[in-house]
Amino acid sequence: MNLNLENKIAIITGGSDGIGKETARIMSEEGAKVSIFARNLENLEKTKSELESLTSKKIDIYSVDVRDQKSIKTAVDQVINKNKKIDILVNNAGTSSAHPIMDITDEIMSDDIGTKLYGAIYMIQAVVPSMKKNGNGSIVNITTPGGKASGAKTVPTSVSRAAGISLTKATANELSEFNIRVNTVCVGLFKSGQHRKRYEEIIKTDKNLTIDEFYNDLGKNVPLGNRVGEAEEAASLITYLSSSQASYISGTAINVDGGASPVV
């Protein structure tokens, strides 16, 4: 299947690791010109080197905190000045933050909402003028099934992800007249940097635990294969939704979680 991403200009936030990094790889291989936004410049430079080696395509990197609207505008303007347009935005910035309700503080709440919700809003506001000028565009917000069916002790992530799903539908309806599509991919358990960090903490006291054993235990309740997903499995869908092959898909939320969500 030809995804027709040749010379499409894509921005991926949270693109230095996990699903964002894998999305950058696949989009680049499909012909898109990819810019990655993330906070840590060292991680960005490492990812740039790895992806360029794998794909033989140039990857642009920008050190951006998506909670900072001014920082976003500066970086997006640089992408537009270099490439003349933006065709694709993937809002992937953010990690899981789940606590009992009585443990929630202003800092925990504001950091999560600031990154996942305000960050997505700021990014959308920054790229939409270019997409309107193009006469088309695709925005994919990364959320989770927990935004549809929240479990116990999952605040603030479940709250911010529910807001992200609602943001997707609202902006899809609003931007449809400009042929700008907006969808959300609700990701379940995937191998990622945050899980590696959990593993590294565990082996400080359980030195015999292997990374495979860790992931096997983590994925034991996933219906499809009793396993944790590979980043590529989410990235492939994100790339498809960003392409012209998905030209009639907008305002939808798709679970990629091995069937673990209790809701569709």
Under DSSP, is residue 154 helix (H, G, I), strand (E, B) or coil?
coil
Q: Strands, E, within 7-58: which ranges? A: 9-13, 33-38
**Residue 157 contacts residue 144 (beta carbons within 8 Å):** yes
**Residue 133 contacts residue 180 (beta carbons within 8 Å):** no
Q: Which helix (H) or strand (E) element contains residue 171?
A: helix 157-175
Q: How many residues does the chain have?
A: 264
**Residue 16 contacts residue 43 (beta carbons within 8 Å):** yes
Give the type of residue at 66: V
CA-closest candidate to residue 33, choices 5, 9, 15, 4: 9
Tell me, what's the pLDDT at 194?
87
Q: For the chain, what is the total number of helices (H) and then of strands (E)?
A: 9, 9
- Name beta bridge partners: 184: 141, 253
pLDDT in tens, the chain (264 residues): 789 999 999 999 999 999 999 999 999 999 999 999 999 999 999 999 999 999 999 999 999 999 999 999 999 999 999 999 999 999 999 999 999 999 999 999 999 999 999 999 999 999 999 999 999 999 999 999 999 999 999 999 999 999 999 999 999 999 999 999 999 999 999 999 889 999 999 999 999 999 999 999 999 999 999 999 999 999 999 999 999 999 999 999 999 999 999 999
**Measured between alpha carbons, how far is 63 from 37 in angstroms, rounded to an integer?**
6
**Measured between alpha carbons, how far is 91 from 240 in angstroms, rounded to an integer?**
15
**Measured between alpha carbons, how far is 5 from 204 in angstroms, rounded to an integer?**
44
CA-closest candidate to residue 21, choices 63, 50, 58: 50
CA-closest candidate to residue 93, choices 191, 164, 180, 168: 164
**Measured between alpha carbons, how far is 110 from 108 in angstroms, rounded to an integer?**
6
**pTM of the model as a whole:** 0.96
Tell me, what's the pLDDT at 24?
98
Q: Could you tell me the two tokens for 166?
A: 């609602």
**Is the dihedral angle over the CA atoms 241, 22, 156, 64 positive or is it negative?**
negative
Residue 43 is classified by DSSP as H
Structural domains for the chain? 9-189+230-256 (3.40.50.720), 191-228 (no CATH)
CA-closest candidate to residue 166, choices 141, 197, 192, 139: 141
Tell me, what's the pLDDT at 2?
86
Under DSSP, is residue 188 helix (H, G, I), strand (E, B) or coil?
coil
Backbone angles phi, psi at 221, to 5 degrees: -100, 10
CA-closest candidate to residue 12, choices 29, 27, 1, 2: 27
